[in-house]
Amino acid sequence: MLCAERGARLRVAPIDDRGEVILPELERLLSERTRLVAVAHISNSLGTLVPVREIAGLAHACGAVVVVDGAQGVPHLPVDVQALGCDFYAFSGHKVYGPSGIGALWGRADLLAGMPPWQGGGGMVVRVTHEKTTYLPPPHRFEAGTPFIEGAVALAAALDYMSALGRPAIAAWEEELLALATERLSEIPGLEILGTSPQKAAVISFTVDGVHPHDVGTILDRQGIAVRAGHHCAQPVMDRFGVPATTRASFGLYNAPEEVEALAAGLRRVREIFWS
């Protein structure tokens, strides 16, 4: 959308067979003409943990600004924006067990101070005349009108809940579930896991030979097992691996090993139905 509006050129860093960004290729794409580098903290389609700190270093070396989509990062691991070295970091509320329709954007103070408002409304101005409007400093200039107050309160409660449980404890639990699920699913003939980086979140994206991912999802659904099937808003990733879609199992702090075993059993049932 930005390219269409501004005439910029979009260049995409490739990923390898494990689903990891090929850093030398990314570095080769960067130049003094690069203005913005946008990355996901964790891939929603593969679960790969992207090396944001290293990418930010490469981007800043050529004067670019780094924007991170943290929608998958915040639910799964502790996030320190200073340690990551990024300039902007965004995440959505419903991924962290809060309400939908709300999220948060962190940005470097100096960059935010130099940016104009993106919409107008009450609560964002210092002075309005017919000739000129002056705006409040961030964050107020970016929060025009009456905010989604109840959503903000609920999002804060969700984040407090996660903090009380302990983000390192959540990450450790999910790592155990991921390890167990990877082991169990790897035992199933004809099942291929896409995204095999050793650095990944508790997400397993897979295909089953001869079975469309939507059919896999439907059969699992009838067994009370909730997965997602499709291209996961990541069609270029599907193209990279030569598949139309995958089935994706995502684990959270509320999941248990018994559910991993149920998923494996459900997938064996998929094989029985289609391979019998």
Residue numbers annotated as active site:
233
Beta-carbon contacts of 229 under 8 Å, excluding residues fewer than 6 positions away, are 213, 214, 216, 217, 245, 246, 247, 248
- SS3 for 109-142 is HHHHHCCCCCCCCCCCEEEECCCCEEECCCCHHH
Name the DSSP letter for residue 198: S
Burial tier of 126 (Cβ tally within 10 Å: 0-12, 13-18, 19+): exposed
